Amino acid sequence: MSALANRPFSKMNGIGNEIVVVDLRDSPAAVTAADARAVASGVHYDQLMLLQPPRLAGTEAFIRIYNSDGSEAGACGNGMRCVVRQLFERTGKAAATFETSAGLLNCWQGPAPGLYTVDMGAPKFNWQDIPLAEEFRDTRTIELQIGPIDAPVLHTPSAVSMGNPHAIFWVDDVNAWDLARFGPLLENHPIFPERANITLAHIVDREHITIRTWERGAGLTRACGSAACAAAVAAARLRRTGRHVTVTLPGGDLGIEWRERDDHVLMTGTATFEYEGRFDPALFASVA
C-alpha cells in the first residue's frame, strides 16, 4: 500500500498555485511518481510538497516536490511559502531551513503579517546548467521561435534556471496569446532536454512585471513562484528593470528581490490555507 494511504494532508495555495502539503517526517517510506499521480486523481493540485526526514543537521526536512503529472521539480516558491506558513503556525518559529534537490532554502516571516519570504538561491545562466541542448554563450536571449520563420508568433526568449528551467518570452500583452496552445509545444521543445517552464512577460515599468506561465508538468497555472523569480532576474539582466520588482501573476502579486551582495533571489508573498483532509486508500488501489 502507498505510504500516502490514510495520511493527513493540507490543501493550500500560494496566490492561486494549488499546493498539497504532506508531512512524512515520521516515516522514511518512499513515495513514487505513481503515488503523486494517484493523489492528483482525487485532490487537484499543481505541486505536491512532501516533507521527509531531514538529511542535514540544522534543516527542518528534506522536501520532495512533485508536479501533478508525477514528474519531480527542484523548486517551488509558492509551495515553500505554504510549507513555512504551516510550520510557523504550528511551532511558533519565524525562520527555517529546508533541503530540496535544488539545494538549501532559507525561509522566514515576511515584512508584514501574512507574508512569507523564501530565499530561492542564485539563478544559473550557463546553457549547460539551465540546461539547454546546445550552446548559447549569452542566455539573456536564445534563438527559439514558434511560427513561420519570417513572421514568428513568439521568439527570442530569455533562459534561466531557478532550480528548474525557464524560458521567458517578452510580449506587449500577456493575455493576447493562447498560452494553453503554445505552452505544451514549447515546454517539450528539443532545446529543453529536461522540458521547461514557459512564461509570457510584459515590462510595465522598471519596478513592475506582469507574467503568465505554462508550468512544466502542471500546465497553465495561476501562479508560479520560480517563474516570477526567473522573469525578474531576466528583466534585470536585460537592464529593463531594477533588481527589486513586483511581479503580477493571474493569482496575485509577488515581491522579488535579486539581492546584489550574493545574487540570491528573495521571493515574498502570501500563503492561504484551504482545508485539511486524509487520503482515501482507494486512490492508490492501482499503484503497484
Active centre residues (catalytic): 76, 224
DSSP strand pairing (145-146 vs 252-258):
unpaired
**3-class DSSP state of 88:** helix
Neighbour count for residue 274 (Cβ, 10 Å): 13
Q: How far apart are CA 285 and CA 288, in angstroms?
A: 8
Q: Identify which of 239, 257, 245 has the alpha carbon closest to the alpha carbon of residue 211.
A: 245
Residue 141 has φ and ψ, to the nearest 5°, of -145, 140
Cβ contact 91:82 at 8 Å: no
Residue 231: what residue type?
Answer: A
Residue where the block lists cell 492528483: 40
Q: Identify which of 218, 233, 173, 240 has the alpha carbon closest to the alpha carbon of residue 200.
A: 173
Q: Identify which of 24, 17, 12, 18 has the alpha carbon closest to the alpha carbon of residue 84.
A: 12
